[in-house]
Amino acid sequence: MSRGQLDTEVQFIKGVGPKNAMLLKRLGIETAGDVLWHLPRRYEDRRDIPQIMFLRPGHSSTVKGRLVDVRSKTLGRGRVVVQGVVEDKTGVVNMTFFNQGYAAKHLQKAIGQDIVAYGQVREGYRSQLELHNCEWEAIEGGETDDFARIVPVYPLTEGLTQRVVRRAAKAVVLACAQDVIDPLPNDLRRVEGLPSLEWSLRQMHLPDTMDDQTKARGRLAFEEFLYLQIGLQLRRNEVKQEPGIAFSTTNWRKSDVAAESLSNLFTSSPSSDIWTDVRTMLPFVLTNAQKRVVAEIWTDMETPIPMNRLVQGDVGSGKTAVAACAILAAVRSQHQAAMMAPTEILAEQHYINLHRMFEPLGVNVTLLIGKLNSTQRKKAYAKAANGEAHIVVGTHALIQEGVEFLRLGLAVIDEQHRFGVRQRLALRTKGKVMPDVLVMTATPIPRTLTMAVYGDLDVSVIDELPPGRRPIKTHVKRTSDRKQVYETVRTLLEEGRQAYFVCPLIFDNEKMQAQAAEDLYYRLSNEEFKDQSVGLLHGQMKPQEKEDVMQAFLNNTVSVLVATTVIEVGVDVPNATIMVIEDADRFGLAQLHQLRGRVGRGQAQSYCVLIADPKSSEAQQRLQILAQSHDGFVIAEEDLKLRGPGDLIGTQQHGLPDLRVADLVRDLTLAEQARKSAQTLLEKDPGLSLPDHALIKKAVLAQRKEEALVSVS
């Protein structure tokens, strides 16, 4: 391969060829440039080469010696063991390969040659030392520099070997790394203390030291965070440039409104303070945290810049009351509000609650969900279009074609992580003028993720529970304790309470060896609780069946509900005071916390029982964290460390691009550094129009295009 040809087809790189090129294509590698960006997932330090007598079982080691013999043995059922005997002046070690018959042919060719090998040392038959399934190669000219070094370990696909990828990567680095154009200008790199892109790519593939590799990785991670943060800042700036609505949250004043239905709304005096209406609307006093968040929202709403705010609140913290205060400000200023929820039953609950709150103020609340009949749907459409409906509550039905609002001023999205980017945008575009947007989540999100995923939003946190809420008592039990757990459930049922049972699976699965909801439902309804009404709820049921079961549980005609995580985001059932989670070690911490939040919605003491036989100390630790903590943000931080951001938030739902190098858990400092750098850069060059920023702009635009594609999928 000649120098400087990043677009060279991969098959023409030394050591690749057409066959390996087809395998590399499975990994998205088609050119030399693609090889350069196919980065190692870890490294093996093979620089230390001890004599064979100093090898110790349980450690990975590099060995240098002469291959003196090769042996093959068939164990039956087609199983083969191949051993290559390596010796130096201090001892002998066997290279052992299981079910790799082809290894014998390669080893036979190298008998009598000096070789170097790397693998984990184990103690074999009669205490003979072995290197299991090791990597090895013959030494040419007595040199081991190409093997006994810090060796990159690359992601592979079936049939592709590390040797092929390493040789291709080395060839490309030596020929092309100097021709990669660095998108980060010199002054930015100097201020942030970053090495060049060329040096960083060399150190990622051919590291001189692990410190150099760490420094190189940091530079690449910073660059990814920088693009992400610039994209979020640009999105925030674009929203703020749209003409918005300046709502009044001080004294109500009548506007010139086309529809009579949007005026004369309130039974109180038109000049009354908004807090008078809040006190009329809410049957309780807001907590200090709720008041603080409401003040932050109202401050946003008073400006003509469209609000784009996220409200985070733990389960039971009172987000609906906060949303109602935002809706009140919109309606008082002669605008409509829409609230979108992910399920019909949750939308119905919001409708009931908002109708109860706003009815004393003369405000009309209308429901728009899929199960409405044709006449009901047409009536709801008409109310939204002519302004008779001041508040419209619904599901995805709100963003269907044909739904129009006379004067939409506020869009509220509940459990926003259940909606894609495109769906949230679709609700916003229902306004003739850009409406204010308030998104809410009961899934506590660690600060790292909030900064990275919601950098285009202002964030408010409700960090206080309403008075009178009792902490849910959480207990970890073994499967052998089930009888005792069921007795506790029966005691509560006899007191008139209701119970949840949650399972990780719908149907029995031999591979998973976990409790299935179908099986548990059959057993509980026919054995332990055959005298009770037992319901079943899971994701493969028809929507109407799910709605009917949940409504029956809400009405207390079903006293025991066996379900999967479909109830993670659900309605309030204050009478449900115990939740039993089967195979709890199979759930993430944040998910367990969300599930636990389905109980404890009333004044009675509630309980959560985690049944599991965890097979690792880490799994046991996770369950104990949940048992000891009720702080969703503490739990979310721990969950982030254990599971990573992709599982915790769902990258597709957020349009968050995959990060090739950066890690939202370990690179918090880098993420902060990149955020500040992005702010400084955009203050100097808001449109990224300077020549030095052309490649940054190109990368950010490409990333945003990728986000758009993800959000549509």
Q: pLDDT class for 270, splitting at 50, 70, 90?
A: very low
Q: Among 330, 328, 334, 333, which Cα is nearest to 261's? A: 334
Whether 155 shows a pLDDT value over 60: the answer reads yes
pLDDT, tens digit, 9 for 90 and up, residues 63-104: 999 999 999 888 777 788 899 999 999 999 999 998 887 788
pLDDT of residue 284: 86
> DSSP state, 3?
T
If you average pLDDT over residues 50-69, what whole number do you get?
92
Cα separation, 32 vs 23, in Å, equals: 15
> 425 vs 655, which has greater pLDDT?
425
Q: Is 70 helix (H, G, I), strand (E, B) or coil?
A: strand
The two beta strands, 79-88 and 60-76, are: antiparallel
Whether 569 shows a pLDDT value over 80: the answer reads no
Whether 133 shows a pLDDT value over 70: the answer reads yes
CB-CB contact of 93 with 130 (8 Å) = yes
pLDDT of residue 663: 81
Q: Is 651 helix (H, G, I), strand (E, B) or coil?
A: helix
Tokens of 16: 């690749």
pLDDT of residue 349: 81
DSSP 30-68: -BHHHHHT---SEEEE------GGG--TTSEEEEEEEEE
Distance of CA 139 to the CA centre of its chain: 47
Q: pLDDT class for 392, splitting at 50, 70, 90?
A: very high
pLDDT of residue 660: 85
> 322 vs 272, which has greater pLDDT?
322
pLDDT of residue 250: 66
pLDDT of residue 370: 87
Whether 436 shows a pLDDT value over 80: the answer reads yes
Q: Any bridge partners for residue 76, and if so which?
A: 79
Q: Among 142, 105, 228, which Cα is nearest to 673's? A: 228
pLDDT of residue 27: 94
> 237 vs 421, which has greater pLDDT?
237
Domains delineated in the chain: 1-43+151-176 (1.10.150), 48-148 (2.40.50.140), 215-237+656-712 (no CATH), 260-302+318-441 (3.40.50.300), 473-629 (3.40.50.300)
Whether 173 shows a pLDDT value over 80: the answer reads yes
pLDDT of residue 490: 95
pLDDT of residue 514: 60
Q: pLDDT class for 4, splitting at 50, 70, 90?
A: low
If you average pLDDT over residues 269-290, what whole number do you get?
81
Q: pLDDT class for 706, splitting at 50, 70, 90?
A: low
Whether 293 shows a pLDDT value over 90: the answer reads yes
pLDDT of residue 129: 92
Q: Is 191 helix (H, G, I), strand (E, B) or coil?
A: helix
pLDDT, tens digit, 9 for 90 and up, residues 338-381: 999 988 878 888 898 899 899 888 999 999 998 889 999 999 99
Distances (CA, A) of 46 to 140, 199, 305, 617: 18, 22, 59, 31
> 267 vs 518, which has greater pLDDT?
518
CB-CB contact of 290 with 318 (8 Å) = yes
Whether 383 shows a pLDDT value over 60: the answer reads yes
Whether 712 shows a pLDDT value over 60: the answer reads no
Distances (CA, A) of 250 to 277, 335, 651: 12, 16, 40
CB-CB contact of 384 with 403 (8 Å) = yes
pLDDT of residue 358: 93
Whether 389 shows a pLDDT value over 60: the answer reads yes
Burial letters for 20-30: b for 16+ Cβ neighbours within 10 Å, e otherwise?
bbebbeebebe
pLDDT, tens digit, 9 for 90 and up, residues 593-643: 888 988 988 888 999 999 999 888 778 888 988 898 887 777 777 777 766
If you average pLDDT over residues 226-246, what whole number do you get?
85
pLDDT of residue 528: 92
pLDDT of residue 648: 45
Whether 710 shows a pLDDT value over 60: the answer reads no
Tokens of 318: 């009172």
CB-CB contact of 427 with 395 (8 Å) = no
What is the average pLDDT value for the chain, to the nearest integer? Answer: 85
Q: pLDDT class for 649, splitting at 50, 70, 90?
A: very low
Q: How many C-beta neighbours within 10 Å does residue 655 have? A: 22
Q: Is 673 helix (H, G, I), strand (E, B) or coil?
A: helix
pLDDT of residue 415: 75
CB-CB contact of 65 with 86 (8 Å) = yes
> 291 vs 629, which has greater pLDDT?
291
E strands, 527-566, are 534-537, 560-563
* Sequence letter at residue 577: T
Whether 176 shows a pLDDT value over 50: the answer reads yes
Element (DSSP H or E) covering residue 637: helix 632-643
